Chain A
Amino acid sequence: MSTTQNILRPAPRTGTAPTESIPWVRYALSALALLIIALFLILPLVAVLFEAFREGVGAYVDAITDPYTGHAILLTLITALTCVPLNTLFGIAAAWCIARFQFPGRSLLTTLIDLPFSVSPVIAGLVFILIFGSQGWFGGWFAAHGFPIIFALPGIVLATMFVTLPFVARELIPLMQEQGSEQEEASIMLGASAWRMFWTITLPRIKWGLLYGVILCNARAMGEFGAVSVVSGHIRGATNTLPLHVEILYNEYQFSAAFAVATLLAGLAIVTLIIKSIVEWRQQRQWENASS
């Protein structure tokens, strides 16, 4: 989220703080911050890698190339490839709606979009069981027509979509409100259709914010555990995503294999962070250009 960038920036100076001239406070605080980062961020990553290779490279490769692991990777990719585009479309539509129009219920919609962030993912999963489970409201009907939702791919996709719904919209709403609609009006005044205006004006102006939201959405979609765990049923080779697969392996005392698969998720997280930094940097540059 955009607030994380602001936290890292120095606060504007308002007079001289009483502690500012004491060097040891600065060093102590910096050391504390570094210690916390090392303890909570670096150490676990090292531990994952260490445990993954404890029984040698051979065991690591075996764990990664296991057919069940392969299926979990495939399922995670399918889930992400379904959820991310759908939530991107929804996010753009919702942000457009909220940033460009005044209508009754606008602030309610803004609050509702945040709902998945404030509800525990486990609760979200249970809600889907209630609606689509075999004893649920519509579950029987879907199952009878050969399209089971719970303990199947549709349930996993639904739960993941719910959890990742706010990412794109939350990123775009403040950006589009900040930008205003004057350039879009200019485009229409010059004779562009609404469709044309979207592709030539709106999208290029929000692309970095959009990409940032999509990256976060994707990372969460691939890494979601709680909600998916409730609806999937943990059927190996059928409804097991990567995070669930790690848990199963661990519970079966296959520590080395569990950590080997975990390195895949960790690797994904690192790649995400790198892309995220590049996007942030580009976005910053675009804002600087726009405001100069």
Chain B
Amino acid sequence: MSIQVNHLTKRYGDFTALDDIDLAIDDGELVALLGPSGCGKTTLLRSIAGMEFADSGNILLEGRDMTFEPIRHRHVGFVFQHYALFNHMSVFENVAYGLRVRPRAQRPPEAEISRRVHELLDLVQLDWLAKRFPPQLSGGQRQRIALARALAVEPRYLLLDEPFGALDASVRKELRRWLRRLHEELHVTSLFVTHDQEEAMEVASRIVVMNHGRIEQVGTPEAVYDSPATPFVSTFIGSVNVLHGSLRDGHFDTGGWQLPIPNADLNSRSQNAFVRPHDIEIVRDASTPWPVRIRHVQPMGSSYHVEATPVTDTVQGPRVENDYLTVELTRQTFKTLALEVGEVVGIRVHHLHWFHQETAPALD
């Protein structure tokens, strides 16, 4: 069941929440809307659900224009960040609610309702909580009940608004995996909002990156990480080092450092180059053209994050965002190198990317 959004625009006074959004989601996909707070991702989700109406543009569900259709014609299941369970009803009644409020002619008989509810509670592995009330449950349990409740009406689309935002880190991790498995089982077209890039990468088959009411990039987790379309995507997804300078003769030139770029486009006017922390290698070779001094070492468990300041003879020196480079080393590499804070070592840059035309600074 496909979702298509055309030229959707929504303003609140002077604030533009959605700025000419175009988006197509295929049947059975699990897509993440990713962006910082205030980027319009929740407004987009609520517009598709029918809880908000855009100023212009339209929304097509299965090819039919549903822009102004009421919520009940859209066959949408919605999961809220703060669960929005009905606290005065038992878990069973919460899940049964969507079936009980149907018009009499479409309402299933009591036995059928009971069967369906227990089936859904089994699906979320919480059938043993049927008689409890929501305030007696943990956050993770509540959100799974909310999901069962949304699925009870057999929605064609499942929309989730920061579904794990209110949960503890460990519960969140577990539920992410669980949601992905559930999607593999049910194949209902799903769209979820998140500000957590790790969550988007782990759960979604495609990611829609949004900023300032616009879509910056749509792609698989791999695509948005490996080939970001804009400086914003580079810096928002994963961490990145930003070098200021210019492209010249197949090199990126930053204050005395000449970083070679394969297949460089000499017409590019790029001012910034972006390097992922794991694309930098540290070598014990004093003759390297790019010496750095180790400033800080941060053990992260499976890896080490090393902060290194460029060392140069020239007055200006390489211009690096925040004045240091972050290098990510595997545990093994770090132990082999046996780095000490304060010592000078060399680096090698294995991969960097840049953008042909930049309008805005990469970081804000």
Contacts and interface: CB of A to CB of B under 8 A. Distances in A.
Contacts of A289: 87, 133, 135
Contact of B86 (A188, A201, A292): A201
Contacts of A204: 88
Contacts of A200: 86, 97, 101
Interface in B186-243: none
Interface residues of B, number: 24
A205 interface: yes
Contact of A292 (B51, B76, B82, B135): B135
Given A182-B80, A182-B82, A187 B87 contact: no
B84 A182 contact: yes
Interface in A169-224: 182-183, 185-193, 196, 200-201, 204-205
Interface residues of A, number: 19
B102 interface: yes
Given A201-B86, A290-B135, A186 B153 contact: no
Contacts of B40: none
B163 interface: no
Contacts of B51: 185, 189
Contact of B153 (A185, A191, A201): A191
B182 interface: no
A193 B153 CA distance: 15
Nearest to B159: A189
A290 to B, nearest CB: 5
Contact of A190 (B133, B135, B153): B153
Contact of B84 (A185, A192, A193, A196): A185
B247 interface: no
B49 A189 contact: yes
B305 interface: no
Contacts of A182: 80, 82, 84
Contacts of B150: 189-190
A183 to B, nearest CB: 5
Interface string B47-86: 0010100000000000000000001100011101010111
B98 interface: yes
B158 to A, nearest CB: 11
Nearest to A288: B135
Contacts, number: 58
A182 B49 CA distance: 14
B84 A186 contact: yes
A186 B84 CA distance: 7
Given A193-B101, A200-B101, A205 B71 contact: no
B72 to A, nearest CB: 5
Nearest to B46: A185
B135 A192 contact: no
Given A201-B86, A205-B88, A190 B49 contact: no
A290 B87 contact: yes
B149 interface: yes
A189 B77 contact: yes
Interface string A42-63: 0000000000000000000000
A190 B97 contact: yes
Nearest to A186: B84
A191 B98 contact: yes
Interface in B116-133: 133
Given A196-B101, A201-B86, A289-B135, A186 B72 contact: no
A193 B98 CA distance: 11
A200 B149 CA distance: 16
Given A204-B88, A290-B135, A189 B101 contact: no
Contacts of B97: 187, 190, 192, 200
B71 A188 contact: yes
Nearest to B87: A290
A191 B150 CA distance: 10
Contacts of B84: 182-183, 185-186
A187 B78 CA distance: 10
Q: Report the 10 A-B pairs with minimum CB-CB distance, sorted nearest first.
A: A190-B98, A192-B101, A186-B84, A182-B84, A189-B78, A204-B88, A289-B135, A191-B72, A183-B84, A196-B101
12 contacts: A182-B82, A186-B80, A186-B85, A187-B86, A189-B78, A190-B149, A190-B150, A191-B98, A192-B97, A200-B86, A204-B88, A290-B87
Given A204-B88, A205-B88, 10 more contacts: A182-B84, A183-B85, A186-B78, A186-B86, A189-B77, A190-B149, A192-B101, A201-B86, A289-B133, A290-B135
